Structure 1
């Protein structure tokens, strides 16, 4: 029978100072001042309308993403977190992450955000080379990125993430390794290190830059993994690397098919209902103008996940992780029997993409390399 998994909360702040040419996230170039009070009030109203989804649970984690959430004042974030806690109890020592652009957060603001209740930052660095930052449309400089990490240490932030891309326009192996080594030297507990991809509806899609060839990309990946491992960073998901014990708890709940509320422009949610044996996917109004229109509902879409899609939905998330997949978790969080996986797993085993034990299954290194091919098996 379907069981209630842990419940997280995602909060979307949609504004950026500039729209990066590679970005396909729901973000909007800021024109004038952020309607901070109006938007924060709307977020709490939005959450109130989703309270029936909580079903007696406490919050497992909070992630404030965007956009550029660090454009919001620290006092605004403090009010937001306090208002949320009045509605839903927080798990003890809960992880509360704020995404921050080094070009939109001053040293004092880092300390103020910590005082407001943020206990984990995710700094969008992308590169430590000015030429690459300029091509990526980033508003911060190299020193600002380094200073943000140093200041996080100085204010006593126990954990923070540096977000770093590779496979950048005209990037060499040496460039990529220099970026990665600089990030490691700043001693973050967590690194998100992933390859730039060209997505539809972006400036890069309309005017593609010259990217490294496949041989260079493979060398970057191979040498980068070795460098991270040599410095104690364990790969626990496709693009997530952490020191032991510092995995992003919010992401783990996502990938383990946990539940999450999504509030804010275009935010997505996933909610389980054991008594009705169903799972809902929710999406909020995408554009700030529509989201802040008092005549409209915050909810844009609310759909039940079809039973035929549940295996793929689960595996699409779970296969990202490098850990064992317990069959008991699959049964508890989907409401399906393990036997519904048997033929599909056998196909994956035959192709050497997965291994299967009595109580767990696991993706092989080959399976992670050809993850898209593995996923197609579970689309059947």
Structure 2
């Protein structure tokens, strides 16, 4: 079923005028080839034509593809922005509001509701930052121009067109990240096809507008990824001085008793206990925080294939349970900033005449350029990093 496509098409039609004629012709040629592939996947020509009519490539996506924060940002900065007091409080409020949906997802799939909420918080800030890029446009651009993984993005485009054809989600609502992830918990279209479930009983799978559908679908994902009910994801540990970094690694699992025999303890000094295998990860090296991680951490990791991402979800879930945050200091003399501190930094930059746009705590190019100027003035390497030294200099 094809429904309510007009708003999405009108929003995109104006983009074609901003694209050079040669690029438009190249894009249309690529779309023609994709149309044939779609037909082979059972997607009607009508569905394809209506979904792609008037769109132009979004070339900014290729730049975003090379600047993914999970791999470009120091781990302490990444976690400081995602697991701060503000997000913890917002998360507790969201869990109270949607407690029944989270409880039923936990009961149905055997996945800790706090971890489900952790995914929700990291992926979309509990539905506040779902993303606004039209999926068909983003994935068509990547299928035609991505320097790598074109086949993957082509498959995601086909899955998106199938969602449109099946009528699960209003196509006008199919907006998300540059890479095509969408909804409260940011499923890729192919993941949606495989694992999305109806959580509110209305007969549809709509992770864009239904929180119950989103949290049940996420619980299903984690269960299928190997989550074991009753097993912790892990916890912070203290390493002995003799610990070799060669022993670390998410995949280098061994019985807890083996780690205990080496002198590894919980961060508070208590001995390790439990009859399961685990690895140890040291995201900033052995001089920084260390964590025991189990197969449940692997399940969370599989959501986005980045250890920093997996830690953000796990630690946010712990904080929403009321557990403390990381206790070991990061190996840096320039402390990371929370989102509230980043907003303060942006306000201070604005008061000094820098144009950084709206002080929203999100560090975009304007803010980075302003920070670089401040870093030069205070004798730091101009990297554009929102750190404690820059904030203190601005306060002074």
Q: TM-score range by the shorter chain?
A: under 0.3
Bigger CA radius of gyration? 2
Q: Please give the TM-score of this superposition, normalised by the length of structure 1.
A: 0.23
Larger relative strand fraction: 1
More contact order relative to length (CA 8 Å, sep ≥ 6): 1
Larger relative helix fraction: 2
